[in-house]
Structure 1
Amino acid sequence: MKYLLMTLAFLISVVVARMIIPRILLISYRKKLFDSQEERKIHKSAIPRLGGVSFFPTILFSCCGVLAFYNLFGYYVTTLYDSHLLSEMLLLVCGLVLLYLTGIADDLIGVRYGGKLLVQLICACLFPLGGLYINDFYGLFGLGIISPFLGSLLTVMVIVLITNAINLIDGIDGLASGLSSVSLVVLGTLFLEREMWNCSLIAFSTFGVLVPFFYYNVFGKAERARKIFMGDTGSLTLGYILSFLAIKYSQNLDGIPKEHGPLVIAFSTLLVPVFDAVRVAIVRIYNGRNPFTPDKTHIHHLFLKMGFTVRQALLMILLLSCVLSGLNIWLIPYVENTVMLLLDTVLWIGLNMWWVKRIN
């Protein structure tokens, strides 16, 4: 029954998003709500950037509808009524509302980065408030169970990092939605194995809304008014949900110290956007520039400079994300967490050096 509900949530999201996105396109073209055409942008046509407006309402509708359906047919959602989980879910919705409104304002009239960062920090603080924070390093750097204060501080930093990483990686068609889809499918499946049905429901509902968006974003034709971007509304929504799922999976729920844990597995699905955001910030600081100043140094820009087309760059980066995530999940039972993270870092640095060498 619960596997059926996961499928139902996914299909509801697909159908609802498929209905909403064409209406957003229609309104965007009538009101001339297009993305800015800056020098660093890949596209040259007038394309709407409000696709992300469909994300949060669709996910909320799908999750609430399926849970209501489950209860109406006499099944009691026991795990949902756990005091901690219910608080976490409600605070997740509160944070999504704030980010959703901020994203819409930014996509329509623009919001200063300081203002967006402040909202992100407020939303990030909601997770520890509900009892959700990174509480165990599972032997990473020799650390185990950590204090709630340190865990809460680290959690806030991680949420802001992931949310901005998804926002920054959204540079070519399908990249942010594709990388998010990879992470959502992996995390959703991992939650199913743990029988954490409600988190899996969120993952597959979010994946469902990305399927029609990915089609319009990648295969839609601008000259036929069928192409759309997710904008900050979409990237902020995705980043926040992915942060929630990764931290939830990595949390040690029973408080018993473990040598091998899910911390590396959870965040391995987000290695590409997070590592890329960190690399770009370091390079900008090294060159004496503001780390928040946009440029053409992201991973997709490197692939384009190497001669790949936009579609080829998209496929290569998605394949890289799948390989990194798969290797981490496969090797983590046999490799110590710190060694696994070092291997990921060395591999990433080596790949970047190779790409730069090819460009030169």
Structure 2
Amino acid sequence: MKLLIVFIPFIIAILLSRIMIPYILLISYRKRLFDPVNSRKVHSRIVSRLGGVAFAPIQCCLYTIVMLIVYKLNFVDLEVMTWEIFPMFTMLICGLAVLFIVGIGDDLIGVNYKAKFLAQIFVASLFPLSGLWINDLYGLGFVVTLSPWIGMPLTVFIVVLIVNAVNLMDGVDGLCSGLVGLGCIVLGALFMYYGAWLHAIFAFITAGVLIPFFYYNVYGTTRRKRQIFMGDTGSMTLGYSIAFLAISFAMNNHYIKPFSEGAIMVAFSTLVVPILDVARVMYVRWRMKAPIFSPDRNHLHHKFLHAGMSHRTTMLSIFCLALFFCVFNIVMVELISNNVVIICDVLLWIIFHYIFNIRVAARRERIK
């Protein structure tokens, strides 16, 4: 019965998303709401960028209805402490609503990056307000328990980092939705394993919403006017959703899930690629004395495209890279300490880029 409580909302989310996206496409083309084409874009034709409008409404409404049915009918015991968990999901829905409004404004008329940044800080602050914050580093950096004065600001910083990291990965068809979908499925399965059914339901609802969008985004044809982008509305709400799931898994509290030694490394294993890519890009900008927050074409997917890979190959390559880090961390936390795992992650990331840069340089020499 618990598996059905997760599986049925997952299927309903797929169906609702499949119904909404064609209507969004129709409105976009009738009202001429397209993603602008410029030097930073990898597409050269007009495409709707309002696909993300379907995400948050389905997530919030479907999850709320499922919880109401479960608790009113009382036909299955999810074994959770209601008054400890519900404030977290209430703040999650509030944060999604705020980012949804800001995202639509940005996709339609443009929003100043400072205003978006302030909105992200505000919604990130809702998590500590609800009682959800990183209170344990599990020995990472030889630190265990964190005080609220450190853990709460750290949580706000990490949420903002994840939201922006996910947003910056939205540069190739299917990449952002695929990475977040992969993360939701992995974390959802782990929540099910530990008996955290409320979080598992939300994770699979989010994954279900992304499946039809992924199809339209990757396989939709511009000739038939069926391709669609998620825009900032989608990328910010997805980043916020995956941040909520990751921090919930990392939090050391018995009313979410039982204690596990490698929780923090496992929680963020699905986000290793976007987070390390943001760190690399910031370092490159600092080294080149360029503005830290200035847009460029130096992200991981840009590097793959510059190497001559197609959009589809780039997407699949980054998926494989993300899946490798995910499996590697989940396996290795059972064998070695968290400190060694994170050192291995960084070293593998550096080695990958070093080898990749050498091969790209050799390819360019052969072409010359």
Return the TM-score normalized by structure 2: 0.95
Alignment of 1:293-312 (within 5 A): 293-312=294-313
Seen in structure 2, the aligned counterparts of structure 1 residues 164 and 77 have a Cα distance that, compared at 3 Å, is farther
* Corresponding position of 2:58: 58
Contact 2:192 2:200 in 1 (8 A): yes
SS in 1 for 2:336: coil
Deviation for aligned residue 1:54: 0.2
* Corresponding position of 1:28: 28
2:97, 2:287 → 1: CA distance? Answer: 36
Q: Are residues 1:238 and 2:209 paired?
A: no
Q: Which runs of 4+ in 1 moved over 4 A?
A: 76-81
Q: Deviations over 1:258-295 (max 9, x none)?
A: 89330000001100111111111111121111122111
SS in 2 for 1:40: coil
Deviation for aligned residue 1:74: 3.3
* Corresponding position of 1:223: 223
Q: Give the aligned residue type for 1:301.
A: H
SS in 1 for 2:261: coil
Deviation for aligned residue 1:69: 3.1
* Corresponding position of 1:322: 323
Tell me the percent identity.
43
2:252, 2:262 → 1: CA distance? Answer: 8
Q: Deviations over 1:63-94 (max 9, x none)?
A: 12322332454326665662221111101111
Q: Deviations over 1:217-252 (max 9, x none)?
A: 000001111000000000000000111100000001
Contact 1:135 1:251 in 2 (8 A): yes
Alignment of 1:92-111 (within 5 A): 92-111=92-111
> Which region of structure 1 is more displaced relative to structure 2, 123-132 or 63-72?
63-72
Q: Deviations over 1:298-340 (max 9, x none)?
A: 1011111122111011111001111110011011111110110
Deviation for aligned residue 1:50: 0.3
Q: Are residues 1:355 and 2:356 paired?
A: yes
Deviation for aligned residue 1:355: 1.7
Return the TM-score normalized by structure 1: 0.97
> Which region of structure 1 is more displaced relative to structure 2, 74-83 or 188-197?
74-83
SS in 1 for 2:268: helix
1:61, 1:14 → 2: CA distance? Answer: 14
* Corresponding position of 1:42: 42
Contact 2:78 2:197 in 1 (8 A): no
Q: What are the ranges of 5 or more consecutive residues in structure 1 without an aligned counterpart?
A: none
Q: Give the aligned residue type for 2:341.
A: M
* Corresponding position of 1:281: 282
* Corresponding position of 1:14: 14
1:79, 1:260 → 2: CA distance? Answer: 22
Q: Give the aligned residue type for 1:236.
A: M
Contact 1:80 1:86 in 2 (8 A): no
> Which region of structure 1 is more displaced relative to structure 2, 259-268 or 33-42?
259-268
Q: Give the aligned residue type for 2:127.
A: F
Deviation for aligned residue 1:177: 0.4
Contact 2:2 2:76 in 1 (8 A): no
1:69, 1:7 → 2: CA distance? Answer: 15
SS in 1 for 2:295: coil
Q: Deviations over 1:22-71 (max 9, x none)?
A: 00000000000000101121100000000000001111232123223324
Seen in structure 2, the aligned counterparts of structure 1 residues 15 and 254 have a Cα distance that, compared at 3 Å, is closer
1:23, 1:310 → 2: CA distance? Answer: 26
1:74, 1:141 → 2: CA distance? Answer: 44
Q: Give the aligned residue type for 1:265.
A: V
Q: Give the aligned residue type for 1:238.
A: L
Alignment of 1:69-88 (within 5 A): 69-75=69-75, 82-88=82-88
* Corresponding position of 2:262: 261
Q: Deviations over 1:5-26 (max 9, x none)?
A: 1111111110000000000000
Seen in structure 2, the aligned counterparts of structure 1 residues 314 and 90 have a Cα distance that, compared at 3 Å, is same
Aligned alpha-carbon RMSD (Å): 1.6
Seen in structure 2, the aligned counterparts of structure 1 residues 243 and 259 have a Cα distance that, compared at 3 Å, is closer
